[in-house]
Structure 1
Amino acid sequence: MKRLQIKTAQNVDINFTIATGGQRLFAFIIDNIIKFAYIYFAYQFLNFRLIDDSFGGDHWTIKAIDVLIFLPVTFYSLYSEILLNGQTLGKMLLKIRVIHRDGFKPSITDYTIRWFLRTIDFNLFSLIFIYLASLGLDTEEELLVFVFIVGKLVGFLLIIFTEKNQRFGDLIANTVVIYLKDDVKFSDTILETITESYKPLYPSVIRLSDNDARIIKDTFNMAVKANDYNTLVKLRTKIIEVTGIKSTHKNDKAFIDAVLKDYNYYTQSM
């Protein structure tokens, strides 16, 4: 899987797993099933003949009601991502989320740009076809299906072939879609296993925040797994710089491990 590396204000790198084209495709399919289900039930349970009779067959009134019914479908992706922190129901089920390329939560403007540019990513050729059909040109049903499929493929082709799996809307809004881990294990949190007899060595660790501790632990675990000693040295140097600790450990790995345990000792006992 592709990775997105972000450097934090503490000059520590955090890595995110970028969602694959397959994950985004299945999320897209789930979201469209939800949309079609809404439309189906709306037309099944609303008595449009009664509405037609009530307004005396007023064409514009009926069209206005149609627009109102389709509004939740039209803006589904936009309001879902704003309200659900970068996720639609499909994205939630596939455990993927939209974030800004800098690692922050996208703004409402970013979400709006992504939503608006879906027109190019998924519906451009369909809109062209509709325009041509409105001119009275003869069109075959097979051509309609072909244009519809090609129109939907534009966004997915960009997702597959761009460096960060970004469709056009992502590229312009500067967003990416990341994959969230299936579960949060104890080792993935800032918590450490410490015994009642544990004796801390570095009281200055309380200068760190919970977010600092999480970043340190994530980076530490990845560096240990990859035998990345350069990262361990940089991490040790940054911890000492921020906390002012005078290390009694000559080994970087042992020092950082002690810092994490001490942080848990002091924060859990407060």
Structure 2
Amino acid sequence: MSELSINTTQNVTINFTAASLGHRILAFGVDLLIIIAYLISVFTLMAYSGLSDTLSKMDGWSQMAVQSIVFLPVMFYSLIFETFFEGQSLGKKLLRIKVVKIEGYQASFGDYLIRWLFRLIDIVLSSGVIGLFAIIMNKKAQRLGDMAAGTSVISLRNNVNISSTILEEINEDYKPIYPLVIKLSDNDARIIKEHFIRAKAGNDYELLANITSKIEAVTGIKNQSGNHQDFINTVMKDYNYYTQSM
């Protein structure tokens, strides 16, 4: 697996491990098996319930309408799961890989939609050859859909539990200050904490300022303390307070 080093607009370098080609293929295979299992289940149910006979007696347009409804979950499978599971289909979740923005932050629905649309070129029309070739040739392991959406697929295997890397000790009577921290994702919080630790260890004031700017840009929070270190520390504690309370 190759290292993916990203330089953000705030001049913060973020290091990821790009998901290997093997893991991406396996994840796709798992998703394909799930889709096949779904189709077998639906058609078996239709056969045993007599719906197949009813369908055969319908006119052509009605048959097409029913078939379209049956195939909708298949068509939108990746888009639905990546949207609601923050960049992971069931196959990606099993293989512990996920889609993120190339800046290292959570991708949006628009990004997942672009990736889904490009599946027609990357996978469907070319039987996966174009997507495979693009991933191999691209330094950031991106298929065409990733390039268009500004995303990449990363491995989470170095993080046995993402939450454990962002955990902060907070007292039972802790009073949060910034409720807007819930706009951050676990991946955002992990990146912030990693760079916060590095900045504190190296007394890097510029990096602390960059982290503060990124938090403010993503969440809309304004630093009320005037001290970057205190602000970031409070944000991390508030994030843990809200996410542990959900």
Tell me how far apart the structure 2 counterparts of residues 72 and 182 of structure 1 sit (CA, whole Å): 31
Counterpart residue identity of residue 98, structure 1: V
Task: Determine the structure 2 residue equivalent to 1:183.
Answer: 160
User: 1:59 offset after TM fit, Å?
Assistant: 2.1
How far apart, CA to CA, are the structure 1 residues paired with 2:207 and 2:117?
42
Query: Helix, strand or coil for the counterpart of 1:177?
Result: strand
1:118-143 per-position Cα deviation (integer Å, ceiling 9, x unaligned) = 01011214xxxxxxxxxxxxxxxxxx
For the Cα contact (< 8 Å) 1:159–1:166, is it kept in 2? yes
Q: 2: distance between equivalents of 1:42 and 1:175? A: 34
Shift in Å, 1:189: 3.8
C-alpha spacing 1:51/1:40, structure 2 compared with 1 (3 Å): closer
Instruction: State the partner residue of 1:169.
Output: 145
Q: 1:18 to 1:220 in 2, by over 3 A?
A: farther
Conserved in 1, the CA contact under 8 Å of 2:111 and 2:149?
Answer: yes
Whether 1:119 and 2:126 are equivalent positions in the alignment is no
1:146-201 deviation line (CA, Å, top 9, x unaligned): xxxxx222212211221111111111111101111341389844658xxxxxxxxx
2:111 alignment partner in structure 1 = 110
Specify every segment of 5 or more residues in structure 1 that has no aligned partner in the other structure, as ranges: 126-150, 193-208, 225-231, 246-258
Q: Is 1:45 aligned to residue 22 of structure 2?
A: no
Q: Flag the 1:5–1:54 CA change in 2: closer, same or farther, 3 A.
A: closer
Shift of 1:109: 1.6
| Alpha-carbon contact 2:199-2:207 (below 8 Å) kept | no
Farther-moved stretch of structure 1 (85-94 vs 103-112): 103-112
Shift of the alpha carbon at 1:65?
0.9
Would you say the 8 A contact 1:113–1:169 is kept in 2?
Answer: yes
Aligned-pair identity (%): 36
Shift of 1:108: 1.5
Give the C-alpha shift of residue 239 in structure 1.
4.3
Q: Name the SS for the 1:46 alignment partner.
A: helix
Are the equivalent residues in 2 in contact too, given 1:55–1:61 (CA < 8 A)?
A: no
Higher-Rg structure is 1
Distance 1:239 1:170, change over 3 A: closer
In structure 2, runs of 5+ residues without a counterpart are: 170-180, 182-187, 213-224, 239-246
Q: How does 1:1-270 map to 2 (within 5 A)?
A: 1-7=1-7, 11-47=11-47, 50-53=51-54, 56-125=57-126, 151-180=127-156, 181-184=158-161, 188-189=165-166, 191=168, 211=189, 212-217=192-197, 219=198, 232=202, 235=204, 238-239=207-208
Q: How much does 1:4 deviate?
A: 2.6
Could you tell me how far 1:51 is from its partner in structure 2? 4.4
TM-score (norm 2): 0.67
> 2:128 is paired with a residue of what secondary structure?
helix
Looking at structure 2, the residues matched to 244 and 216 of structure 1 have their Cα atoms a distance apart, in angstroms, of 16
Contact 2:199 2:205 in 1 (8 A): no
Mapped partners of 1:4, 1:58: distance in 2: 54
Q: TM-score, normalised by structure 1?
A: 0.62
Cα distance change, pair 177–2 in 1 and its aligned pair in 2 (3 A): same
Offset at residue 216 of structure 1 (A)? 1.8
Distance 1:182 1:216, change over 3 A: closer
> How far apart, in 2, do the equivalents of 1:160 and 1:9 lie?
26
Q: Displaced runs of 4+ in structure 1, greater than 6 A?
A: 240-245
Amino acid at match of 2:134: L
Tell me if structure 2 keeps the 8 A contact 1:190–1:214: no
- 1:97 partner SS: strand
C-alpha contact 2:166 2:193 (8 A) present in aligned 1: no
SS of alignment partner, residue 130 of structure 2: helix
Match of 1:140 in 2: none
Between the aligned partners of 1:123 and 1:213, the Cα distance in structure 2 is 40
Amino acid at match of 2:131: G
Distance 1:166 1:239 in 2: 30
